[in-house]
Structure 1
Amino acid sequence: MQSPPDPRSITLPVHRLGLAEAGDADLPRTVPIEAPIAIEVGGFGYAVMMATPADLEDYALGFALAEGLIERADQMEAVDAVPLEFPDRAGEGRVLRLWLSPDRAGLALDRARTRLGESSCGLCGMDSIEAVLAPLPRLKADLAVTREAIAGALNALSEHQPLGRATGAVHAAAFCAPDGTIVLAREDVGRHNALDKLIGALLREGLDPAGGFILLSARCSYELVEKTVRAGCPLLVTISAPTSLAAQRAEVAGLALVSLARRDSALVICDPQDVIKK
C-alpha cells in the first residue's frame, strides 16, 4: 500500500550550480510545505496564517492560547481541518475551524469582529485563501546572469551590511547589476521589510528592477517571491532555502529562483526563462 504524502515537505528537482567549487548536478531537494491556513472561530473568519499544514490540532490550541481565546485545552471543544484545492493556480490551503466552549465563544466573537474591523482587506475563510493564491503577473525576462556574477554578489554582500555586522540580528536585501555588482542594499530586522525598503529605494532612484537581480540574506517564503515579481525583477537569489509555495509561485510567474546560495554552490530551484547562464 502506498504511503500518504507527507504534509510537511515535498521534493523538488533542482540544479546544483558550482560557484567556488566544481560539481554541477541535477538532484532532488526536500523543501518545507507552506500553505495559507484560514482560521475560523465559531463560524467567523478570524485570521489567515501561513504555515506547514501538519499537526494542525496542536497549532489550533497554541494559536488560540496565544490569542487569549482560551486558557485551557478543555475550552477547545473541536477542531476541523478542511483542505482546499485550487486547480487554476499554484498552491492549496486549509480552513481550520475552531469550536470553543460556550464560556469562551462570546470572547472569540468579539475578537473576530475587532480583527475584521481593523483589517483593510476584509478577508476571511475561502476568499482569503483565494486572495493569497491570486495569480501573479507573468514576468518578461531580458537578463543574463552568470554563476560568477552570483558568486561576486554573495562575496560582496557583507560589505553592505553595517547594521548586520554590528548586531548580527538583521536581514539584508540587495539589488545587483547583471555582473554581480551590488548597486543598492537595505537592512531591517524583518526580511520582508528589508525587501520593501530595497524596492522603494529602486523606485526613488529611478532604477528598473528588470535590469538586475535581487539577493536576500533570508529564507525564501512565498511573500518574498511575490514582492520580487510585482517589482518586475526576473531573478531572486536567497541565502537560505525556499518553501514549496515560493517555488511553485516563482515557476508560474516566470521568476528564476536560486536558493541556498553560499560561497561554494547554489541551487537553481527554477529558471523558466533561462536567465542563468550555466
Structure 2
Amino acid sequence: MFKKIACIRIGGGQVTRAAAEEAPVAVFVNGRHLTTVALSPGGFEDFITGYLYTEEIIRNAGEIESVRIEENRISVLTKNIFKRVSVKKTILSGCGGAVSYIDTQKLPAIDSDLTVSVPEIEAAVAALRAPGMLDAVALATGGRIVACAEDLDRHNALDRVIGRGLREALDFSRTFAVGTGTVTSEMVRKCLVANIPVLVSTGPPTALAVEIAEETGLCIVGYAGTPEMAVYTHAGRIAE
C-alpha cells in the first residue's frame, strides 16, 4: 500500500518518504459502468461487496454471481444480469437543482436493541490501527474487532468492512463501527443501510451527520479514545 518517493526536504537535502499508493478503479456492473473510485490497492472483493450493498444494488452477498478483478477494473455480474443500477446519494436536489435537502424518509432506520459500554468502546479504539496516512474502520462486537480495513478514504474503508461482514454472515445489528476521522452524512447512510446501530470515531461528526442520525436511530460517538469523547445522538445506546 506504500511506496518510497524521493523528495527535497525544506532546508536542504534529498530524502525518501513513504507515500500511500492510490489506484483509480472503474466499477462495472452487468456490463455497464457504474462509477470510478480511488482505492488503496488490494482487498477489492470486500470493497465491491460492501459498496454494492450500501448503494442498495444488492441485498446480500448471495446476489453476486461473479466478480472479476483486473488492473484498475472490477467487473461484477449479479444474479439478475438485466438489473440496471445507479449510485445512491444522501444529498437530494430540490426543484431545478436549486435546493439541497435531506429526505430522511427515504433512508432506512436502525432496528436494533444493542447497547455498547464505554469500556467496550475504549477497547475497540485501542485495538484499531493508529491513524497514519490511511483511514481505518473496524466492526466490533463487545470490545473485540471482528473486521478491519484501511483505505485512502474512510468511506471506502467502511464499505470494505461491511463487505467482509456480508461475506462472513455477520449480524450487523449486534456490532458497532469504529473508525478514524470525521463522521460524515455518507458514513451515516452506509451504517443505516447495514443496520449498524452505533458509529464511533476518533474524530467529530458533521452537523449534517448528527441531524440524520438523530432522526434515524443511529448513535454517534465522537472523539473516542480522548478525554473529549462524547455521545452526539441516542445516548441510551451507551452504557457506563
Q: TM-score, normalised by structure 1?
A: 0.50
Identity of aligned residues (%): 34
Structure 2 residue 149 is the aligned partner of structure 1 residue 181: no
Report the structure, 1 or 2, having the larger helix content. 1
Give the corresponding residue for 2:94: 126
What aligned pairs does 1:250-261 form with structure 2 within 5 A after superposition?
250-261=213-224
Cα distance in structure 1, aligned partners of 2:161 and 2:220: 18
Aligned-pair CA distance for 1:134:
4.5
What aligned pairs does 1:80-99 form with structure 2 within 5 A after superposition?
none
Question: Do 1:218 and 1:239's aligned partners in 2 also have CA atoms closer than 8 Å?
Answer: yes
Give the corresponding residue for 1:155: 126
Unaligned stretches of 5+ residues in structure 1: 1-118
User: Which SS does the other structure have where 1:240 is aligned?
Assistant: coil
What aligned pairs does 1:259-278 form with structure 2 within 5 A after superposition?
259-271=222-234, 274-278=236-240
Aligned-pair CA distance for 1:121:
6.4
Unaligned stretches of 5+ residues in structure 2: 1-84
The alignment's C-alpha RMSD in Å is: 2.6
Aligned-pair CA distance for 1:263:
3.9
- Out of 185, 205, 226, the position equivalent to 2:168 is 205
Cα distance in structure 1, aligned partners of 2:116 and 2:93: 41
Structure 2 residue 91 is the aligned partner of structure 1 residue 142: no
Question: Do 1:141 and 1:275's aligned partners in 2 also have CA atoms closer than 8 Å?
Answer: no
Aligned-pair CA distance for 1:120:
4.7
Aligned-pair CA distance for 1:264:
3.5
Aligned-pair CA distance for 1:266:
1.1
Query: Number of paired residues?
Result: 151
Cα distance in structure 1, aligned partners of 2:209 and 2:108: 15
**Structure 1 outlier segments of 4+, above 3 Å:** 119-125, 127-134
What aligned pairs does 1:64-103 form with structure 2 within 5 A after superposition?
none
Q: TM-score, normalised by structure 2?
A: 0.57
User: Which SS does the other structure have where 1:237 is aligned?
Assistant: strand
Give the corresponding residue for 2:136: 172
- Which protein shows a greater Rg? 1
